Amino acid sequence: MDHSVNKFRIYTLLAIVVLSFGYNLYHLYKMQVIDQIMYQKKATAVSSRSTSIRAPRGEIYDRNYDVPYVDNTESFSVVINPASVESEEYPELIEKLALYLEVDKSIIEKKLPYSVRRSYKNIEILDSVSYDKIVSIAENIDHLPGVSWESIPIRNYLFSGSISHILGYVGNISQSEFQVLYNDGYTLNDDIGKNGVEKQYDIVLKGKNGLKYKTVDVKGRKLDKENLKEDIAPIPGKNLVLTIDRKIQTLAEKALGERKGSVVVLKPSTGEILAMVSYPWYEPSEFYIPGKNAFGNILLDEDKPLLNRAIQGYAPASTFKIIMSAAALEEEVPEDLTVECTGRVFYGDRYFGCWNRAGHGTVNLESALENSCNIYFYTIGRDYLGIDKINTYAREFGFGQTSGIDLPNEAAGQVPTPEWVKKKYDVTWTHGDTMNVSIGQGRTLATPLQIADQLAFILNGGVVYKPHVVKEIVDPLTGEVLEVIPREVILKSSYKPETFEKVKSYMRGVITEGTAKYAISTKAVEIAAKTGTGEVGFSDKFHDWFVSYGPYDAPPEEQVVMVVMIEASNDLDKYRPWAPKATNLIYQGIFAEQTFEEVVKTLRPYYLRELF
C-alpha cells in the first residue's frame, strides 16, 4: 500500500514538472516567435525618438501658372538641447544667444522655463534665422553648449504690393488656434495661414510633416548606432492657381496709386476675380523678421493696412440707383413719369438736395439715372416703392449678405429696416429715411465686391456667380490639376429680360450723355457706367465711386465688371474725383493689352503729365 502511494506521488510530481516545463517552453516560444513583432515594436518605441521635418507649403501662382507669387526658401531654426547645458551656464548662454540672434533675451527665456531644463528633447528657440546669424553662432559654438540649428523651409513672397490682401501671410499657430485644429494634425510648432488665401486654404497648402528618427538610451541621449526606424519624408502642400491676372492686378494697383480705396475687376460670367486692389497694403515678408514687431506696428497704423477695403462696407451712394431703376421697372412705375428737379425738395421739416444745385429740370427714369438726379429717386422711393420693396430688391441683388468669396473677413454690408433702426437706435423710421436710402445714403452699406456683383446680376440676366480668387488646386510634383473651382450660382431672379436691357441702356447713357460724359477717353473699349459720390460727414470730402462694365455690347463671357472706390478719408486730391480717371486707365490697359506706363504714353492724361 505504501509502495502504491509513493508511486502515485512520483507520477504526480513528474506530471507537474513536465507541465511546468511545457508551459515555460510554450511561453518562451510565444515570446520569441509569436510575440516577437510586438516586443520589437515596444523596444523600438522605447529606444527611438522622432523629430518633425517641416513640409514645404504649396506655392501660389496667378492664373497663368508661370511665375509664383509665393514659394519657399531655406531658412534656419536655432534649437537647444537643455540636458547638454549645466544649470550655472544658462544665464551666460541666454545672454550670448540673444546677442547673436539680435533679439531680447526674454524671448529665449520664455522658451526655456525651469521645467524643461533637464530635458533631452531639442527645443526650438527661434525660426526664420538668417544665414549670417547662423555663421555668427557657428563661429562661437564652443561657448554655446547645447545649441544647434536646423534647415527649414519658410515663405518667400516674391511680389509685394496690393497682392498682399489676396495672399495673406503666415505665422506661428496660437494656443487658441491649436485647440481648434488639433484634430486636423496641427502641432504647436506649425506655421499657419493668418490672412488671405494662406488662411482660407491653409489645410491645402500646409502639406504633411515628415519624421526623422534617432536611437536613444534610457535617458533619451542619442546613441551612435543605426536607427531602428526609417525616416518619413515630408509631403509638400498643394499649389494654388489664382484667378488673378498679374498684369491687370499691377495695372489696377498703379492706377489707384497711394489713395485709400480699392479696385475690383470681375468676370461676371464665372465670378472669377481678375484683380482686387486695396490700399494701403502691407509686406507679408516682414512678419518673418525675428524680433521685429511688424504685426504690432501694423495694428497701430491708423490707415489700417491689414484691412481689405474691397470687402468692407461703405455707403454705396448713387451706385444704389441701379437697383432703384431695376425695382422701378419691375414694379411698373410708369417710365413716362417725370419729376421736376429744381436742385432741392422740401419734405417734412427740411430740404433734401440734389448734387446739381441748379437742378436738372424735367427728368424721367432714363435721364434721372444718366444724370444721377437725387430728386427723382427720392420721389419714386418715397411715393412708389417704399422701404420694404426697396429692401427686398437690395437683398435680391446680394446686399446685406456675404458673397462667400474665398477670403476671410468679408463684411455683409447693411440693409436697414424700420424694425432694426427702432431696436438699435430707438428711433422711428420716417419717409425721410426712405428718401436717403433711395440714393444709397442713410444707414445702407455695401462692399465694393457687392457693387461688382450688382453689375454681374444685370449682365447675367439676374444671375450672380460666387466670386472667387482661387481657380485651381495643383499637385506640386506632377503638375496635375487636382481640383477646378466650379462656377456656383449664389443669386438668381426671375426679373423681366427687358428690365436688364433697359438698365444697361441707361448705364450706357451715363457715358454718352450723363455724369461721366467727359470722364472716359479710352478708345480701346466702349463701356457703361454709374458714378457715385457718398456723403460721410465731411463738408469737402466724399467717397468716390465709379462702377462700370465693358465692352458694353458684348456677351457676359467677354465682359469685365470694374468697381473703383476712393475713400473720403484721403487728403484733398487736386485731380478728384479720381475713381473715373483710374477706371479710364485700367480699361485702356486691359483692352489695348498695355502696361500702366504704356497706357500713360498712349492717353497722355493731363493729371499724369509728370509721367510722359
In the structure grid, which three cell numbers stand for residue 124, read together? Answer: 526650438
264 has which bridge partners? 276, 563
Beta bridge pairs of residue 48: 215
Q: Are strands 239-242 and 60-61 parallel, antiparallel or unpaired?
A: parallel
Q: Are 526 and 500 in contact (CB under 8 A)?
A: no
Mean pLDDT of 150-161: 88
Q: Model confidence over 59-77: pLDDT tens digits?
A: 999 999 999 999 998 888 8
pLDDT at 4 over 70: no
Nearest to 439 by CA among 486, 494, 380, 366: 380
- Beta-bridge partners for 61: 68, 241
pLDDT at residue 604 is higher than 90:
yes
DSSP 302: T
Phi-psi region of 454 (alpha: psi -120 to 50; beta: other; left: phi over 0): alpha
pLDDT at 119: 82
The pLDDT tens digits of the residues spanning 66-118 come to 999 999 988 888 989 888 899 899 999 999 999 999 999 899 998 888 888 88
The residue to which cell 437697383 is assigned: 323
> Alpha carbon of 580 to those of 67, 349, 392, 563: distances in Å?
31, 36, 30, 10
Contacts of residues 406-409 at CB distance under 8 Å and 24 or more positions apart, as own/partner, are 406/197, 406/200, 406/201, 406/468, 406/469, 406/470, 406/485, 407/165, 407/166, 407/196, 407/197, 407/200, 407/308, 407/311, 407/469, 408/168, 408/195, 408/196, 408/199, 408/200, 409/195, 409/308, 409/311
**List of residues 6+ apart from 543 with CB closer than 8 A:** 314, 315, 317, 532, 533, 534, 535, 536, 565, 566, 567, 568
Rounded mean pLDDT, 31-52: 59
Instruction: Quickly state the pLDDT bin for 222 (edges 50, 70, 90).
Output: low
Quick check: 378 pLDDT over 70? yes
Strand ranges inside 308-417, DSSP E: 339-341, 344-347, 350-353, 361-363
Least confident among 179-188, 201-210, 276-285, 520-529? 179-188
Cell of 152: 527649414
Percent of all residues in the chain with a pLDDT value above 90, rounded to a whole number: 64
Distances (CA, A) of 85 to 121, 122, 574: 12, 12, 66
Q: What is the mean pLDDT of the chain?
A: 89
What integer is the mean pLDDT of 275-298?
A: 79
Element (H, E) at 68: strand 68-80
Q: Is the previous residue joined to 551 through a cis bond, with omega within 30 degrees of 0?
A: yes
Residue 579: band (very low, low, confident or very high) from pLDDT cuts 50, 70, 90: very high
- The answer to whether residue 291 scores a pLDDT higher than 60 is no
Q: What is the pLDDT of residues 416-446, one digit of tens each?
A: 999 999 999 999 999 999 999 999 999 999 9
In the prediction, which pLDDT does 160 show? 85
Evaluate whether 393 touches 323 at the Cβ level (below 8 Å).
yes
User: Is residue 611's pLDDT more than 90?
Assistant: no
E-assigned strands of 536-604?
A: 542-550, 560-566
Amino acid at 33: V
Side-chain-facing half-sphere of 495: CA atoms under 13 Å? 29
Question: How many Å apart are CA 603 and CA 203, to the nearest integer?
Answer: 46
Greatest C-alpha distance within the chain = 141
Q: Rg of the chain's alpha carbons, rounded to an integer?
A: 34
Residue in 445, 449, 438, 354 with CA at minimum distance from that of residue 405: 449
The DSSP line for 396-438 is HTTTTS----SSS-----B---HHHHHHHH-----HHHHHHHH
Task: Report the distance separating Cα 576 and Cα 546, nearest Å.
Answer: 12
What is the C-alpha to C-alpha distance for residues 600 and 326, in angstroms, rounded to an integer? 37
Strands (E), 443-589: 463-465, 470-474, 481-484, 489-492, 528-535, 542-550, 560-566
